Structure 1
Amino acid sequence: MDLLNLDDQLTPEQRMVRDTAQGFVREHVLPGVGDWFEEGTFPASSLAPVLGSLGMLGMHLSGYGCAGLDAVSYGVACRELEAGDSGLRSFVSVQGSLAMFPIWRYGSEEQKAEWLPRMASGEAIGCFGLTEPDHGSDPSGMRTHAKQDVSGDWLLNGSKMWITNGSIADVAIVWAQTDSGVRGFVVPTSTPGFSAPEIHRKLSLRASVTSSLYFDDVRLPASAVLPGVTGLKGPLSCLSEARFGILWGVVGAGRACLEAAIDYAKTRVQFGKPIGGFQLTQEKLAWMAVSLGQAGLTALHLGRLKDAGELSPRQVSFGKLANVRAALDIARQARSILGANGVTLEYPVIRHMNNLESVLTYEGTQEIHTLVLGEALTGLPAYR
């Protein structure tokens, strides 16, 4: 599928990461992911320790048991994991970029020592609480709040929604309004007053745990607050880390759909020959391959910028906007080539297509990233 030979640009270490992630997906994910999707389950308890032993959790962070690999390696791993399923890549992204990263970047030494080694090994699972039922794209309106009492403890109240890993997490990174601005809190999910019911009846990201979070006078010690950041720049920086994984990951989902479409087109016979021998089918496949190559180029370029310390949030928005749209278009075209077979779980296409509908929306909707680029081009914000 790599008509541009992009993987020839990878270092030996990056190719080793690719091969390791591919092997994990082939052995531990592909045999069961169709059933997980159909049943609405995700076997985190069996997958997390294996991912941890392979160094896939928080792999782009250094110290505390983390692998300390470069950004392109992290991106390549996300690509291969999402070729398995977007829910798998979401699990890894949330663990490493949304739960571990804020502790690593903004946490106290005690918070880092307590949580990061366990999270890197897969022993402890984390989630990230920012989105609320009434405040998704505009987190500045969040209603979840925390207030210190005379003892110095914090009392946390409010709710979050659409939280990946929420009901299986051991720790939640929760963002809340305080008298001094938005602050992040490290919240053990065993704390009284914390609850995380799972959201059911999803038709997308079914092989992924999605939950609501509720905080009813959750009492936290003063040491629970992340000391290194105040304001929305904290959670937004975490989202930028996760979006980087997304813009790589969706290349894997798109590739899986293209591979399925090519295999099917070479074996499905109509009018006396394989449908891959008809010009209309070849045109679809050619444009799918072009879109996939362009998305891969974008991901590789942005990965190199990140490794050089030169990647900006607007460039991440460019990659998330362009690559998710490309992957979704590829999935839809692949579904049309497979015809009625394309809507069954015998093939991966409808699963990836449904998943990508969620990826298009989460961690910054298509519309928000469009406005980020519009502001970058004009200098005029148009969010309100």
Structure 2
Amino acid sequence: MRAAWWGGDSENGAVNAALDAFTEETGTEIAREPQAWDGYWDRLATQTAGGNAPDFIMQAGSQIPDYAGRGTLTDLNSLESLDAEAVDEGLKEFGQVEDALYGVVAASNAMSLVVNQGLAGEAGLEVPDGEYAWEELAEMATKSSESLGDDVWGLQDGGGDLILFILKVRDDGRQFYADDGTLNATADDLTKWLEYWEELRQNGGVPPADVTAEAQGEMASNPMATGRAAMSFGWTQDFISYTRLVDSPLTLHIPPYVQASPSLWMNAASLWSLSSTSADAEKAAEIVNFMINSDTAISALGVSLGMPPSQGARDQLAGTLSDPEQMAMDFMDKVAETSTPLNRLWPAGFAELRSLLGDLNEAVAFGETPIAEAVEQFFTTADSFE
């Protein structure tokens, strides 16, 4: 039996400990294939194409439609040994494609606004507890930058983050994708989005293009991690990582929020899937059961992968977490009160659009691509997946 997952030292140590416990309990030996995120998908794609994928696979919601569409994942509904009833109702549909289930949520998360309280105090910055608009966020960022001086900014540049763009469209009262997987977002939506961040760059509310590009994909060197940004968007597990990098106290806040059309959703940080080429899918499903139901596995995993996907697991971990981990757990309770589920899971092409928007925002920031051209590229690519 082989298992593959992505992660750093913390994630690898936690998953290994849980798999060790499964082996001790069942006698099943598991070959381990952990990998950093950057190399994980290339390696998995190569293994899958060669018919040599691991039996037990960590998957992402954005990748499941592609892998399922190629017939490379097992429909978990077909397995008698699967017991995923403990997973929260709001998360069960993640991993589902039409009537088939290709993944069980391993951990959940949500997008947040992370605030450096030391810099916020210097800038007189206070993030509203209730409703506030993206325009208010821009004003807070610009005023904070003016107060904090050179080489310190109010907010990190989020123009290339597709998740944030989706939040903005949902704040406006529309789903980003129609139920059939086509885009509800319009060229006008994206034009205004890119203009929003370009204006923030020009006003100094976010770092200039070169500063943002230097830290692209490297959390430890981005302005929030180095104490040069008062605010940054990030998933809940990003917040926990930031607390290990930043000396100043950090807090979690709801991103811009419209009560009439909440934009946040409870998200699947990762999922457990099984390869369609597994020689013993029923035995592999027992690993899934162990990971989400066993007290031993729940303790071993903690919140290393994100927030546990079941109330029972969260109750078990209560009182055992560090202060930042507990803050992230408490934030998820707040998200549950101020969020609405996605109308559908990510369709084919989502991962490509996510990468493309990052590239286009950077090209706009450096003055290499006009916004109108960037918008045209984005929608031409989106149309190619329909």
What TM-score range do you get, normalising by the shorter chain? under 0.3
Larger RCO of the pair (alpha carbons < 8 Å, separation 6+): 2
More helix by share: 1
TM-score (norm 1): 0.26
TM-score (norm 2): 0.26
